[in-house]
Amino acid sequence: MLQKFETWTVKDRHPELPLQDITRISHRAFSFVSRNMATLNPKDGAMNLLGVLDILEALDYHFDNFINLKNSDVEINQRHEAVAYLNRIGQLYYFTLSDFTARHIPNAISYMSKVNDLKVFRMKSTAHRSLDFPKGESEEYQNRQALTMLGATNSKVLGKLEYILPVQNKSTKKTEWHFFTPETDHEIVMTQSYKLIELIIDKIIQ
């Protein structure tokens, strides 16, 4: 029964607003699902979709904390929020690749380019460190990647904190540089995620 939408209550925090006027995308996603509950009730997939709503809410939460700490003298607190954010990105990535999502949107990852870009931070640095659990990286890259979320490999771009991760291309042996700029990337992540949820629900209720 937990996979049936009729088992759950999803709160619409802004019932008076059209969806396009709900600026906080995690709230918009909750409202969108809530407003489709009558159609979704006899369908399966509640745990999958409600779980991704929780992920989006958490991404907004960690991003808000990251911004609120921007002017703090304790930069490490921003890094802790960035790590928490990137671990949620990992959850979103695997939701995108899940059997549930593939059943409705077979090419879902094509809609989630920013999550696909950022997943390397989760895989090499935040979920576990290459230093602790290497997957073919050289000792040099293990050490360089371990420094990423320790503040040694970040910079400011137009006043925005940017995290930098070096990854060795296994074919060419050259360094590929990956960048995470929360103040730029968050909006892209959320916009792409909402679009994917729209597509999934449209497919479910057809």
pLDDT digits (tens, 9 = 90+) for 35-62: 988 888 777 777 788 889 999 999 999 9
**Stretch 81-92: mean pLDDT, rounded?**
94
Percent of the chain having pLDDT more than 70?
A: 83
Place of tokens 């597509």: 199
Q: Per-residue pLDDT for 152 more than 60? A: no
When mean pLDDT is compared across 23-32, 33-42, 89-98, 120-129, the lowest value belongs to 120-129
Structure confidence at residue 137 (pLDDT): 63
**Stretch 148-154: mean pLDDT, rounded?**
56
Q: Within a 10 A sphere around the Cβ of 144, how many other Cβ atoms?
A: 22
When mean pLDDT is compared across 93-107, 108-122, 134-148, the lowest value belongs to 134-148
d(CA 120, CA 130): 11
* One-letter amino acid for residue 159 of the chain: G
Structure confidence at residue 7 (pLDDT): 73
- Report how far Cα 194 is from the mean position of its chain's Cα atoms: 11
Q: How many residues does the chain have?
A: 206
If DSSP codes are grouped into helix, strand and coil, which group holds residue 27? helix
Structure confidence at residue 130 (pLDDT): 60
The pTM for the full model equals: 0.85
When mean pLDDT is compared across 32-46, 57-71, 93-107, 122-136, the lowest value belongs to 122-136
- Report how far Cα 54 is from the mean position of its chain's Cα atoms: 11
Band (205; pLDDT cuts 50, 70, 90)? confident
Q: Per-residue pLDDT for 151 more than 60? A: no
d(CA 44, CA 23): 28
Band (140; pLDDT cuts 50, 70, 90)? low
Structure confidence at residue 135 (pLDDT): 62
From residue 161, alpha-carbon distances to 36, 37, 164, 173 in Å are 38, 40, 10, 28
List the chain domain ranges.
Answer: 23-130+183-204
When mean pLDDT is compared across 2-16, 94-108, 139-153, 182-196, the lowest value belongs to 139-153
Structure confidence at residue 146 (pLDDT): 61
Q: Per-residue pLDDT for 68 more than 90? A: yes
For residue range 112-128, list pLDDT tens digits in order: 999 999 999 888 777 66
